[in-house]
Copies of this chain bind each other. A is one copy, B any other.
Amino acid sequence: MRGMDQAQARSWLGTALAEARTGLAEGGIPIGAALYGADGTLLGRGHNRRVQDDDPSMHAETAAFRDAGRQRTYRGTTMVTTLSPCWYCSGLVRQFGISRVVVGEAATFHGGHDWLAEHGVEILLLDDPECTEMMRDFIKRNPALWNEDIGD
């Protein structure tokens, strides 16, 4: 990893994890994300809102991106997410030039983080056991909801 240290990444993952836990408590899909600025400021945070708002467009990453409001540039920003980003969210990262993605886990779902790495995005995969356990347990209990969320 070039620009950031693991301790900082793990601390930022805590914000995304808190969002995922909030989503779970609301009866939603437990995926959380946060967008940090180049200077380390928290720009936005959010979680998947498919169930809560009946809104299929609000994945965790899009919710955090939206929460950050309009930004002049995304250069130097870091998207932190509890789960490997799907194509929709990977496309978001690539289109807007978000520089880094910290991924909590990719064991339950292998999204587009390799594709992002090929296109110059710095990826840090943390293999966090709490992220994996929360998602594995959720998928086991709610397979239909999970499949709906990833278009399967």
Interface positions of A (Cβ within 8 A of B) = 50, 54-57, 62, 65-66, 68-74, 86-92, 94-97, 112, 148, 150-151
Contacts and interface: CB of A to CB of B under 8 A. Distances in A.
B69 A56 contact: yes
Contact of A112 (B55, B66, B71, B91): B91
Chain copies in the assembled complex:
2
A43 to B, nearest CB: 11
A129 to B, nearest CB: 26
Contact of A91 (B70, B71, B88): B88
Nearest to A72: B148
A38 to B, nearest CB: 15
A97 B57 contact: no
Given A86-B95, A91-B90, A57 B62 contact: yes
Contacts of A86: 91, 95
A53 B86 CA distance: 25
A50 B141 CA distance: 37
A87 to B, nearest CB: 4
A66 B57 contact: yes
A54 to B, nearest CB: 6
A89 B70 CA distance: 18
Given A57-B66, A148-B72, A96 B88 contact: yes
A108 to B, nearest CB: 16
